[in-house]
Amino acid sequence: MNQPNQDERTRIREAMDRLLAGNATASNGSYTVAALAAEAGVHRMALYKRHADLKNEFEERVRTETKQVPETEKQLRATVAKLKKTIANQRAELEELRHLVTNLTLASAVLTQRTGRPTEPAPGPDNVIPFRPPTS
């Protein structure tokens, strides 16, 4: 690994230690990747792209040392819960619609059923001439 990258990694590790010790100097002290990047003096995307292992290490240390869940995980869990609720609502609505279709189909069958004789077509207006005469 080249020297600038190694210096960046050293700064990130030192920033991790400061944040977890509660001695933040350049950030708001929250346990987020953005705060870690600000504390280390690196761009946040550097943690996601070049130093993903350090980002994961930080999140794991936050989880174990502070007994807190990282903010990104909280957001993901909230999104998953919201999506599960949406899926449950859609399943209930789908079941209700299936039940409604069944009832409407049965009602249609009852309404169209006659006493065994074929239905006669409805009379048309006087000014309409059919193309073919009706078959009997």
Considering the domain architecture, whether residues 32 and 49 belong to the same structural domain is answered as yes
The pLDDT-based confidence of 115 (bands split at 50, 70, 90) is very low
Considering the domain architecture, whether residues 8 and 60 belong to the same structural domain is answered as yes
Distance CA 87, CA 42 (A): 40
Query: Is there a domain that residue 34 lies in?
Result: yes
Query: Is there a domain that residue 91 lies in?
Result: yes
Query: Is there a domain that residue 37 lies in?
Result: yes
Q: What is the DSSP letter of 41?
A: T
Distance CA 30, CA 71 (A): 9
Considering the domain architecture, whether residues 76 and 38 belong to the same structural domain is answered as no
Work out whether the CA dihedral 60, 61, 62, 64 comes out positive or negative.
positive
Distance CA 17, CA 31 (A): 11
Query: Is there a domain that residue 54 lies in?
Result: yes
Number of compact structural domains in the chain = 2
Give pLDDT tens digits for 39-75.
999 999 989 999 999 999 998 898 888 888 777 788 8
Q: Stretch 20-35: mean pLDDT, rounded?
A: 88
Considering the domain architecture, whether residues 60 and 80 belong to the same structural domain is answered as no
Query: Is there a domain that residue 119 lies in?
Result: no
pLDDT of residue 95: 96
pLDDT of residue 123: 67
- The identity of residue 88, as a single letter, is A
Query: Is there a domain that residue 124 lies in?
Result: no
Which has more confidence, 98 or 29? 98
Query: Is there a domain that residue 120 lies in?
Result: no
Domain that holds residue 103: 72-111
User: Cβ–Cβ contacts within 10 Å for residue 43, how many?
Assistant: 13
- Min mean pLDDT across 10-14, 90-94, 129-133 is at 129-133
Distance CA 127, CA 124 (A): 8
Considering the domain architecture, whether residues 16 and 56 belong to the same structural domain is answered as yes
Considering the domain architecture, whether residues 45 and 78 belong to the same structural domain is answered as no
Q: What share of the chain in percent tops pLDDT 70?
A: 86
Q: What is the DSSP letter of 117?
A: S
Query: Is there a domain that residue 40 lies in?
Result: yes
Considering the domain architecture, whether residues 78 and 102 belong to the same structural domain is answered as yes
